[in-house]
């Protein structure tokens, strides 16, 4: 299944040799991921896959999402949050998506998420990098989300160059249709302006 997802994204210009190397890396990376999961003492957890939430932060701002995997201890109401990334580079990943998921899931399920991590199908990565999600980070995230939403409503949000870096692994990443529509319109306008200047 994983390899079929990879081949669906492969450019037709790839050589046979490149496909062979990519398939090998994919299989090794998947094996590493399975070993990392196996090392978590799975017997003491119950699993929730695609744990979803829609939670209001205030009267104007809500967050929504679905976590790939939530492990909740059978004897305590404490969990571990895991998100899967088909990504080979750790430096590109921040804790911000996990923070938003923690905000929503702790509110919806009334539990404590003690740590979160990304599981990447990376042939060179075979150990966890955990993110501790402290209350001060959660409060800062809420403030950023609210502020960014206010800027969007005023049409003052800078979609390309702003401190929220909203177009990649980011501190604020909206998934709503309205925000995506704004991004596309802003991108279209900026491209046209650039062409006119040239």
State the pairing for strand pair 62-73/78-85.
antiparallel
Angle at 53 between CA 136 and CA 97, to 5 degrees: 45
Q: Which of 96, 117, 62, 102 is nearest to 166 (CA)?
A: 96
Helix/strand/coil for 79: strand
Digit-coded pLDDT (tens) for 126-167 = 888 888 888 887 888 888 888 877 877 787 766 655 444 444
Reported as a pLDDT band with limits 50, 70 and 90, residue 23 is: confident
| CATH architecture for the domain at 2-197 | Alpha-Beta Complex (3.90)
120, two tokens: 């990447």
Domain boundaries, the chain: 2-197
| pLDDT score of 181 | 61
DSSP 28: H
Chain mean pLDDT for the chain? 76
| pLDDT score of 165 | 46
CB 98 within 8 A of CB 170: no
What's the CA gap between 194 and 176, in Å, rounded? 27
Beta strand segments in 13-154, E:
45-56, 62-73, 78-85, 112-120, 130-131
| pLDDT score of 42 | 92
């Amino acid at each position: 299944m994983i390899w079929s997802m990879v081949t669906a994204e492969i450019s037709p210009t790839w050589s046979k040799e490149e496909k062979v190397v990519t398939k090998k890396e994919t299989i090794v990376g998947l094996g590493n991921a399975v070993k990392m999961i196996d090392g978590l003492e799975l017997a003491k957890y119950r699993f929730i896959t695609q744990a979803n939430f829609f939670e209001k932060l205030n009267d104007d701002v809500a967050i929504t999402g679905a976590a790939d995997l939530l492990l909740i201890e059978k004897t305590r109401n404490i969990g571990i949050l895991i998100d899967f990334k088909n990504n080979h580079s750790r430096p590109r990943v921040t804790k911000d998506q996990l923070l938003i998921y923690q905000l929503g899931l702790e509110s919806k399920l009334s539990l404590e998420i003690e740590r979160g991590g990304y599981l990447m199908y990376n042939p060179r990565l075979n150990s966890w990098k955990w993110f501790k999600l402290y209350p001060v980070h959660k409060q800062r995230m809420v403030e950023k989300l609210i502020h960014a939403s206010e800027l969007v409503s005023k049409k003052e949000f800078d979609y390309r160059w702003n401190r929220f870096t909203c177009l990649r692994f980011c501190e604020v990443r909206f998934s709503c249709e309205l925000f995506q529509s704004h991004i596309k319109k802003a991108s279209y306008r900026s491209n046209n302006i650039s062409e006119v200047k040239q």
